[in-house]
Structure 1
Amino acid sequence: MLSLFSFSQMDLDEGNWNIPYADKIVHFLFYLMFAILCTMMFRERTQGEMGIAKATRSAVVLAISYGILIEVLQYTLTTDRMAEWADALANSLGAFAGIGLIRWLFSKEKPLKWKF
């Protein structure tokens, strides 16, 4: 829901940082974490019955769908928020990076174990 509200009217101290494309970096990082946490949630909720491949596929589909839905809702329901295809792209790339990271962490090369 917070993705649909505008915080531009709030008096936030932005400091002296001037990072190009900072919003895209934030989108990428949020969806990277979304995909990781979603994969772990699928595994936890199924008590490990859902394999890592299916859990990561489900997580990336959910993350990308949610990111696109939020952009569409920003375009259709708000007057002070802008929908950007670059945000949806950053969301998608973050989700893919998240599942890539979790597959690497739980791969045979670097085996972490799922613990319940």
Structure 2
Amino acid sequence: MITISPEIGKSFVFDLNDKYVHFAFYFVFVIVWFWFLIKTKFAKNAKNLALITAILYGIIIEICQGVFTTLRNPDVYDVIANTLGALTGIIIIKLTYKNSKTTH
């Protein structure tokens, strides 16, 4: 854990392990969501829907943490880790399914 104390007197804590967890969760989330979508009527847009859903979900969760809780704070770095995990999942899907007709 890295703690940085800016001159304005607030503490900023950046827990790298937490970001790995966010990355891994959204990596798996986008792949599982894609697998589900290719078996539905949304198969043609499965990659885009999986990616957009994951990114929006991550943003909404962070906003809700700031608005509806007092014990949690929204973190832009969590959104970045979530998005990078989702993008990496999509890249793996594209590499794995590049010859499949369901992912065009």
Give the TM-score range, shorter chain.
0.7 to 0.9
TM-score by length of structure 1 reads 0.70
Q: TM-score, normalised by structure 2?
A: 0.77
Q: Is the aligned partner of 1:40 residue 2:31?
A: no
Structure 1 ranges of 4+ moved more than 2 A: none
Name the counterpart of 1:50. Answer: 43
Is 2:94 aligned against 1:103? Answer: yes
The 5 Å alignment of 1:20-99 reads: 21-46=16-41, 50-51=43-44, 54-99=45-90
Counterpart in the other structure of 1:11: none
Find the aligned partners of 1:50 and 1:77 in 2 and give their Cα distance.
Answer: 35
- Ranges in structure 1 where 5+ consecutive residues have no aligned partner: 1-19
What is the CA distance between 1:50 and its match in structure 2?
2.1
> Aligned with 1:104: secondary structure?
helix
Task: Supply the RMSD in Å over aligned alpha carbons.
Answer: 1.8
Match of 1:3 in 2: none
Using the alignment, how far apart are the partners of 1:28 and 1:100 within structure 2?
Answer: 14
Give how far 1:44 is off: 1.3
- Aligned to 1:95, the other structure's residue is in SS state helix
Structure number with the higher helix fraction is 2
Task: Please report how far the alpha carbon of residue 45 of structure 1 lies from its aligned counterpart in structure 2 after TM superposition.
Answer: 2.2
Q: C-alpha separation between the residues in 2 aligned to 1:87 and 1:41?
A: 25
State the identity %.
36
